[in-house]
Structure 1
Amino acid sequence: MYINGNVYRLFETIEGYWAPKIIGEVNDDYIKLAKFKGEFVWHEHENEDEMFYVVRGSFDLHYEDETWLLKEGDIHVVKKGVKHKPVATDECWVMLIERKETKHTGNVKSELTKSIDDQLVK
């Protein structure tokens, strides 16, 4: 999978919130774009770190003992095994880098959970 294009135009093709789209891959990682709005689910990724880069807007990243406000241009890595929950009051555009085997909501099943097939750009 080869990525080529304007990231803002790619975001404009994404419909729905909390539904990441895989736009490329680097070695064993996927590059994904997602629009956030509202609350996601508490989850963790047992064996994989997860990187968030805020392209537009802002969101709160809740941990069990603290909350980080991530704004446009911010980058943040959630370490493997750490429970977290993103919350966005307004629409926020986020680029994620995750291992290919990373499950969208970890071992938590939710109406928001997307499979890798759901995340592939078609």
Structure 2
Amino acid sequence: MSNGIDLSEKLSTFSEHWSPRTVTQFNNCDVMVVKVKGEFVWHKHDDTDDFFLVLKGVLDIQLRDRTITLGSGQMYVVPKGVEHRPVAREEVHLLLIEPTGTPNTGDAATAAPRRTV
């Protein structure tokens, strides 16, 4: 990487929701941006934590016993094995970091394909 990465520019290259785009990799992890709106599926990741950083908007991360609400500049890490469901009332822009190949639904059969921008 010879230059910095402009996350806003990367986010401007697509409009689909719930379809993460990898912007770079480090230590066998994908650093991704994604636009979300509405409710995602309840899911969990048995082998890895789930990192969310809100770049724009307000995101609710529903857990079975409570809801975590995040605004711009706030982050939350869902521990591995914990069921959760992200919910965005309006469009939200996120930065995600996951081990390369982690399915966003927790199940490779239903996961969004991994794309790079």
Q: CA deviation at 1:106?
A: 0.4
CA contact (8 A) 1:59 1:69 kept: yes
Q: Which runs of 5+ in 1 are unaligned?
A: none
TM-score where L is the length of structure 1: 0.88
CA distance in structure 2 between the aligned counterparts of 1:109 and 1:29, rounded to whole angstroms: 20
Kindly provide the CA deviation profile for residues 17-59 of structure 1, in whole angstroms up to 9, marking residues without a partner as x: 0000011001111100000100100000000111111000011
d(CA) in 2 for partners of 1:15 and 1:78? Answer: 26
1:99-110 aligned at under 5 Å gives the runs 99-107=99-107, 110=110
Matches within 5 A, 1:22-41: 22-41=22-41
**2:68 match:** 68
In the alignment, the residues of structure 1 paired with residue 89 and residue 100 of structure 2 have an alpha-carbon distance, to the nearest angstrom, of 29
Moved over 4 A (4+): none
Instruction: Answer yes or no: is the 8 Å Cα contact 1:104–1:115 preserved in 2.
Output: no
Q: In the alignment, what sits opposite 1:43?
A: 43
Aligned to 1:9, the other structure's residue is in SS state: helix
Show the counterpart of 1:58.
Answer: 58
Q: Which runs of 5+ in 2 are unaligned?
A: none
Q: Please provide the CA RMSD for this pair.
A: 1.5
TM-score normalized with structure 2 length: 0.91
- 1:8 aligned partner, one-letter code: S
Residues 14 and 34 in structure 1, CA contact (< 8 A), matched pair in contact too: no
Q: What is the DSSP-based 3-state SS (H/G/I as helix, E as strand, rest coil) of the residue aligned with 2:8? A: helix
Question: Paired residue for 2:113?
Answer: 115
Q: Distance in 1 between matches of 2:116 and 2:108?
A: 21
**How far is the alpha carbon of 1:115 from its aligned partner?**
2.6
Which residue matches 2:86?
86
Partners of 1:43 and 1:108 within 8 A in 2: no
